[in-house]
Amino acid sequence: MSQPTRIPAPDGVAAAAQYAHVVMGTGRLVAVAGQLPLDERGELVGAGDPAAQARQVFENLRRCLAAADATFDDVVKLTYFVTDMAHMPAIRAARAEHIPDDRLPAASAVQVAGLVRPEFLMEIEAFAVVAA
């Protein structure tokens, strides 16, 4: 299985510390809807705790990827929707438990006024490309 090709900094583009600017893959596209900090019973994990919420969100992403026969190695793009950019260190720490620095995907982080429920501090979606 071939891994996606990552280009951390194309010529003429400033290097990014926490993501790759370009990630290319060949194969089957897997789109994972934005995941929330809910356990398998649909109950909130980590009320007011960005680290606990981030860990749950990444566990949900892992489970969704597995359902599509994919792993975090196949992820080419993550989008972070956060209610406060101060939560990004907790998200990066949770991400580091699943994705090593040499396999960082392309990424975007967007601060939002709110999510579907006020107790949610973040929502994260993923795109993966699985080798055919």
Q: For residues 9 and 13, what is the distance between their CA atoms, to the nearest angstrom?
A: 6
**Which residues lie below 8 Å from residue 3, measured CB to CB, with a gap of 6+?**
73, 74, 103
| Whole-number pLDDT of residue 70 | 95
**At 77, phi and psi to the nearest 5?**
-155, 135
The domain made up of 31-130 has a fold known as 60s Ribosomal Protein L30; Chain: A; (3.30.1330)
Pick from 105, 53, 50, 103: which is nearest to 79 by CA?
Answer: 105
Span of 42-46, 59-63, 128-132 with lowest mean pLDDT: 128-132
Please answer whether residues 21 and 13 qualify as being in contact, where contact means their C-beta atoms are separated by less than 8 angstroms: yes
What is the pLDDT confidence band of residue 1, given thresholds at 50, 70 and 90? low
Q: How confident is the model at residue 36 (pLDDT cuts 50, 70, 90)?
A: very high
- Mean pLDDT within 95-119: 97
Q: Rounded distance, CA 87 to CA 100, Å?
A: 20
Closest by alpha carbon to 75, among 109, 105, 35, 107?
105
Q: Nearest-5° angle of CA 91, CA 8, CA 54?
A: 10
Please count the helices (runs of H) and the strands (runs of E) in the chain.
2, 6
